[in-house]
């Protein structure tokens, strides 16, 4: 029970990220004595850019992401936002400042507008449309008979995997949080939806100053990221942009070549070079 208790936050309001999130020698172990899920991670996530976190299944991607809203705290090392320790911020403003679009979004039995509004109760219709536009959801919504008033869920309109994802991205974007974590879907996305997601991420990059962190499963989706962090067995195995990582010929280069060949959203367990 002690371990499951919410961490105490500080009293600094987290309102924006101007420079970077930093991990300094961060480790995390789920159990005493177990191999650490994160092992001495040092890295910088620059503000206003797109950073992708990739790597084989079990590498530590989800664990790393969980540390940002303090769902877990490091067992060693420290995390800071613009140089300030993460513990200084109030838990409420920290969590409000981090929007999360999960892999498998839940779609509720409400109208499209209300679904997006879950992100920020009280959001105006204009805010909802703007978020939908940024998420590339505006197009398909407009084509539905009742537009934003279309009923979702049971007895409502059925959406494709890509459409659900974009709707949920709009829900995350309407929060106007400075940080967006996008857990890329591993399935339900056809090639067109995948290309659209890649384009959407670039659009958010161009048109907002949101710091985007993409947990990538399809390497083609993250190839345009400003920075790609390759995790392997809880450590930073490599770091660079797409061209640099391909040129270095490690796990990333192999996995990218394999995915391009197979068009499969797999997470190869290829040994890290
Ligand atoms: P990824 O997201 O890259 O697949 P994870 O962060 O989920 O990797 O997992 C990293 C390591 O931590 C793996 O060895 C995994 O088995 C372990 N792990 C993940 N979640 C738990 C948990 N709740 N309890 C114990 N071990 C866990």
Question: What are 140-151's pLDDT values in tens digits?
Answer: 999 998 999 999
Exposed, middle or buried by CB within 10 Å (0-12, 13-18, 19+), for 264? exposed
pLDDT of residue 193: 80
Higher per-residue pLDDT: 264 or 169: 169
Question: Does residue 32 have a pLDDT over 90?
Answer: no
Query: Listing from the earlier edge strand, what are the strands of the sheet with 50-54?
Result: 98-101, 179-183, 211-215, 50-54, 227-232, 235-240
Question: Does residue 169 have a pLDDT over 50?
Answer: yes
Tell me the pLDDT of the chain averaged across its residues.
90
pLDDT of residue 261: 80
Whether 260 is in the pocket of ligand 1, judged by its Cβ within 6 Å, is no
Task: Report CA(201)–ligand 1 centroid distance (Å).
Answer: 26
User: How many CB atoms sit inside 10 A of residue 42's CB?
Assistant: 12
Stated pTM of the model: 0.91
Ligand 1 atom 12 nearest Cα = 37
Question: Does residue 98 have a pLDDT over 90?
Answer: yes
Residues 6+ apart with CB under 8 A from 34: none
Whether 235 is in the pocket of ligand 1, judged by its Cβ within 6 Å, is no
Question: Does residue 171 have a pLDDT over 50?
Answer: yes
**Strand, helix or coil at 236?**
strand
Whether 269 is in the pocket of ligand 1, judged by its Cβ within 6 Å, is no
Look-up: residue for tokens 């503000």?
A: 47
Question: CA 78, 80, 83, 88 torsion: positive or negative?
Answer: negative
pLDDT of residue 271: 45
Asked whether the beta carbons of 125 and 113 are under 8 A apart, the reply is yes
pLDDT of residue 187: 64
The predicted model gives 81-107 an average pLDDT of: 93
Catalogue the E-assigned strands of 17-117.
20-28, 38-46, 50-54, 76-81, 84-85, 98-101
Whether 9 is in the pocket of ligand 1, judged by its Cβ within 6 Å, is no
Whether 59 is in the pocket of ligand 1, judged by its Cβ within 6 Å, is yes
Q: How confident is the model at residue 191 (pLDDT cuts 50, 70, 90)?
A: confident
The predicted model gives 18-47 an average pLDDT of: 96
Cα–Cα distances (Å) from 46 to 24, 91, 227, 243, in that order, read 14, 22, 9, 19
Ligand 1 atom 25 nearest Cα = 30
Question: Does residue 165 have a pLDDT over 90?
Answer: no
Task: Report CA(215)–ligand 1 centroid distance (Å).
Answer: 14
Higher per-residue pLDDT: 247 or 272: 247
pLDDT of residue 263: 62
pLDDT of residue 155: 64
For residue 55, which atom of ligand 1 is closest to its CA? 3
Q: How confident is the model at residue 3 (pLDDT cuts 50, 70, 90)?
A: low
Whether 111 is in the pocket of ligand 1, judged by its Cβ within 6 Å, is no
Cα–Cα distances (Å) from 47 to 33, 81, 139, 272, in that order, read 35, 10, 29, 29
């Amino acid at each position: 029970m002690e371990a499951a208790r919410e961490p105490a936050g500080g009293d600094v309001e987290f309102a924006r990220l101007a420079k970077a999130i930093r991990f300094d020698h961060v480790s995390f172990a789920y159990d005493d004595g177990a191999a650490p899920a994160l092992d001495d991670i040092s890295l910088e996530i620059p503000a206003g850019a797109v950073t992708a976190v990739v790597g084989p299944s079990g590498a530590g991607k989800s664990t790393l992401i969980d540390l940002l809203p303090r769902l877990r705290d490091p067992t060693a090392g420290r995390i800071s936002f613009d140089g300030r320790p993460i513990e200084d911020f109030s838990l409420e403003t920290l969590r409000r400042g981090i929007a999360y679009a999960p892999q498998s979004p839940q779609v509720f039995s409400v109208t499209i507008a209300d679904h997006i509004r879950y992100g920020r109760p009280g959001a105006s219709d204009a805010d909802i449309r703007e978020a939908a536009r940024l998420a590339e959801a505006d197009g398909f919504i407009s084509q539905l008979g009742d537009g934003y008033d279309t009923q979702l869920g049971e007895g409502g309109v059925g959406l494709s995997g890509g459409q659900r994802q974009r709707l949920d991205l709009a829900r995350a974007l309407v929060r106007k949080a400075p940080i967006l974590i996008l857990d890329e879907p591993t399935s339900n996305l056809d090639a067109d939806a995948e290309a659209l997601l890649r384009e959407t991420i670039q659009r958010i990059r161009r048109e907002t100053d949101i710091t985007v962190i993409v947990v990538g499963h399809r390497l083609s989706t993250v190839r345009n990221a400003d920075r790609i962090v390759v995790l392997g067995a809880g450590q930073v195995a490599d770091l660079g942009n797409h061209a640099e990582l391909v040129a270095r010929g490690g796990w990333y280069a192999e996995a990218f070549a394999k995915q391009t060949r197979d068009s499969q959203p797999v997470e190869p367990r290829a040994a890290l070079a």
